Amino acid sequence: MADNKDRVWLILGAASGFGRAMAEHVLDSGEKAVVADRVVGGLEQLVSTYPADRIQAVAMDITNADQVAAAFATAKLHFGRLDVMFNSAGVGLVGEVEAVPDAKARWMMDINFWGAERVTRHAVRFFREENGDRPGGTIAHITSLGGIKSLPADGHYCAAKFALEGLCEAVAMELDPAWNIKVALIEPGWFLTGLSTNDSGVKPHPAYTNPSLPSVQLRTSTSRTADEMKETYADPRKGVRAMYDVINLGRPFVRLPLGPGVVEGVQWKIDQLTKTLEEFKSCSDNLQFDP
């Protein structure tokens, strides 16, 4: 990878949340960035804050193939290369599986999975073929604790993140080491981003009213104000510093569980899988065809 001062980033979802925090951190570190978001107006303050020779802003809907291609082309046109593709574009979707309309679920999947799949394919080709005598780069996706273990009232969101984790794990195994392409999955917990306070507008299902149900309790937790959430949620600006450091490790494939609740959540999943394996592993004995 290029020396840090020469690196060029493409940061998706740069108008808010982790994307905005990462854009500021990268540019404050003296690096270059193409910042992208669905509404380019949300990027105006970033553009006006940093030197014009280190930042370019593009409007990019991650579900629009032409806009995705144009964002990568902007990096090539203005900076000559691309070293890190950092994808923070995404939407939340809170609601029991039974409550979520098909159209809403497909909309969320188009953004959180298919959009991420699209930019991954573009990044692999670009890093391999467009970076001249220094091929390679890093693909970094914000996934979620919900990409490791599901959460009540987050079934469709977690399904998209599970899918993205599976896709990227396969991509990392498919890549020729000679291409020098790295893959990083960043699995945040409870950080105070715009996603944390967005309930997606799904109406509660009338059958799920018991206040002791986990899904009801989760929905209640997301309806708090930002000031109330600061008591238990983490600062995304601090989170991106850890993300940045892990990306700088340059490992072929790395996962970063990060933030409140994640260590416990991952350990819970490990314990559940270990318990299941121990209980049922004998079921896999002697399943070959008889002689």
Confidence of residue 131 (pLDDT cuts 50, 70, 90): very high
Would residue 215 count as lying in a domain? yes
Q: The tokens of 56 are what?
A: 């370019």
Give the N- to C-terminal CA distance of the chain in Å, as an integer: 54
Q: Which domain holds residue 251?
A: 8-263
Report how far residue 115's alpha carbon sits from residue 165's, in angstroms, rounded to the nearest whole number: 14
pLDDT at 198: 47
Report the CATH number that the domain containing residue 27 is assigned in CATH. Answer: 3.40.50.720
Q: Give residue for tokens 């270059």.
A: 32
Contact between residue 154 and residue 93 where contact means Cβ atoms under 8 Å apart: yes
Residue 49 has pLDDT above 90, yes or no: yes
DSSP state of 131: S
Would residue 137 count as lying in a domain? yes
Q: Which residue has the higher pLDDT, 98 or 234?
A: 98
Long-range contacts of 266-272 (CB under 8 A, 24+ apart): 266/145, 266/148, 266/149, 266/187, 268/149, 269/148, 269/149
Report how far residue 26's alpha carbon sits from residue 6's, in angstroms, rounded to the nearest whole number: 11
pLDDT more than 70, % of the chain: 92
Residue 200 has pLDDT above 80, yes or no: no
Would residue 289 count as lying in a domain? no
Residue 227 has pLDDT above 80, yes or no: no
Mean pLDDT of the chain: 91
Confidence of residue 79 (pLDDT cuts 50, 70, 90): very high
Would residue 196 count as lying in a domain? yes
Would residue 231 count as lying in a domain? yes
pLDDT at 196: 47
* CA Rg value for the chain: 20
Would residue 247 count as lying in a domain? yes
Provide the domain count of the chain. Answer: 1
Report how far residue 49's alpha carbon sits from residue 45's, in angstroms, rounded to the nearest whole number: 6
pLDDT at 219: 72
Q: The tokens of 219 are what?
A: 């929905």
Q: How many DSSP H helices and E strands does the chain contain?
A: 10, 7
Confidence of residue 240 (pLDDT cuts 50, 70, 90): very high
Would residue 130 count as lying in a domain? yes
Confidence of residue 192 (pLDDT cuts 50, 70, 90): confident
pLDDT at 194: 66
Would residue 278 count as lying in a domain? no
Report how far residue 27's alpha carbon sits from residue 29's, in angstroms, rounded to the nearest whole number: 5
Regarding beta strands 137-142 and 84-87, do their DSSP bridges make them parallel or antiparallel, or are they unpaired?
parallel
